[in-house]
């Protein structure tokens, strides 16, 4: 698609009304042709008409067939631009000028640019998440069942619940389900780890089951409950990037 910095007249105030049946069809393009030119399905064009963002320039009173002005090709392109960037189509009319006869491309492109940057950042966050999963899987391969090894773990934030059992007990699956339910209910997004974590204070050891939380999660930024802030039975723990004694296990 190509977009231009100038605006052009659409005469949307007269669409389907003032020119009416006097409009010569040879000046217009049928809906089927518009669909081919813009590579937009006819059903989509009819939907745009239904929600009021692309009214036909003329509707044949007998066949009810829709016809469009050439200038409306650019309107369809602008609508596609909004759809690709997840700009709600119901807001499309706000990009018309005050007179309602031209598209404010400057505002539309500015909004689109900001939406594109947000999508790029979201993709980067997902890629970082995938990288973290890959690293966790590589670390797990270095460990063996029932064998404790020293492994370097990056800085992470864990959501923890107290648990005194082992991974082989039926209660472990129950606590994991409770853990994930609590995490999702609080609006956190989890990483890949589900771990048993032992914390030693002098001669006393505390054991928890936990899952790592993505640091980019909005709910986490708002909570500011870490490190080591107890919330009744749950704890948010921020681990330091260093070597820990680890043992792999399967859930």
Q: Please give the pLDDT value at position 68.
A: 93
Tokens of 50: 């239904």
Separation of alpha carbons 104 and 204, rounded Å: 67
Which of these CATH numbers, 3.40.50.300, 2.130.10.10, 3.40.50.2300, 1.10.1660.10, describes 12-109? 1.10.1660.10
For the chain, the residue count is: 251
Of residues 49 and 135, more confidently modeled: 49
d(CA 209, CA 236): 12
Of 16 and 61, which is predicted with more confidence?
Answer: 61
225 or 138: which carries more pLDDT confidence? 138
- 106 has a pLDDT exceeding 60: yes
79 pLDDT higher than 60: yes
Residue for token pair 């670390």:
139
Q: How far apart are alpha carbons 237 and 193 in whole angstroms?
A: 14
Average pLDDT, stretch 145-174? 80
Q: Give me the pLDDT at residue 235, please.
A: 76
Secondary structure (3-state) at 245: strand
Beta-bridge partner residues of 195: 210
Mean predicted lDDT score pLDDT of the chain:
75
Kindly list the domain boundaries of the chain, sorted by start residue: 12-109, 143-246
The domain 143-246: what is its CATH number?
3.30.70
Q: What are the pLDDT digits (tens) for 168-212? A: 888 888 999 998 898 888 888 887 778 888 877 778 888 888 888
| Selection from 40-54, 153-167, 225-239 with the highest mean pLDDT | 40-54
Q: Is the pLDDT of residue 225 over 70?
A: no
Distance CA 73, CA 71 (A): 5
Distances (CA, A) of 42 to 30, 39, 51, 225: 10, 9, 15, 52
Following DSSP, what letter does each residue of 189-244 receive, concatenated? -EEEEEEEEEEEETTEEEEEEEEEE-TT-HHHHHH--TTTEEETTEEEEEE-SEEE
The rounded percent of the chain whose pLDDT value lies above 70 is 72
Residue 41 pLDDT: 93
* Cα angle 93, 98, 100; round to 5: 55
pTM beyond 0.85: no
The per-residue pLDDT for 157 is 84
Work out the average pLDDT over 73-91: 83
Beta strands in 69-148 (DSSP E): none
Nearest CA-CA partner of 210 in 199, 190, 196, 220: 196
């Amino acid at each position: 698609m190509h977009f231009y910095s100038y605006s052009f007249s659409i005469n949307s105030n007269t669409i389907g009304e003032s020119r009416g049946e006097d409009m010569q069809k040879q000046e217009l393009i049928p809906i089927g042709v518009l669909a081919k030119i813009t590579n937009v399905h006819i059903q989509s064009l009819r939907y745009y008409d239904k929600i009021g963002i692309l009214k036909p320039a003329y509707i044949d009173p007998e066949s009810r067939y829709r016809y469009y002005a050439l200038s409306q090709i650019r309107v369809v392109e602008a609508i596609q631009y909004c759809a690709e960037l997840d700009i709600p189509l119901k807001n499309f009319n706000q990009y018309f000028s005050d007179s309602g006869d031209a598209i404010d491309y400057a505002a539309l492109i500015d909004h689109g640019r900001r939406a594109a940057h947000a999508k790029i950042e979201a993709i980067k966050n997902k890629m970082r998440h995938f990288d973290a999963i890959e690293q966790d899987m590589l670390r797990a391969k270095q460990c063996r069942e029932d064998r404790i090894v020293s492994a370097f773990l990056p800085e992470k934030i864990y959501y923890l619940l107290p648990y005194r059992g082992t991974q082989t007990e039926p209660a472990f699956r129950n606590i994991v389900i409770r853990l994930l339910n609590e995490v999702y209910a609080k609006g956190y997004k989890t990483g890949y780890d589900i771990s048993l974590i032992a914390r030693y204070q002098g001669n006393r050891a505390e054991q928890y089951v936990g899952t790592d939380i993505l640091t980019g999660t909005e709910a986490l930024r708002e909570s500011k409950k870490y490190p080591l802030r107890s919330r009744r039975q749950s704890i948010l723990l921020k681990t330091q990037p260093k070597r820990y004694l680890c043992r792999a296990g399967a859930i």
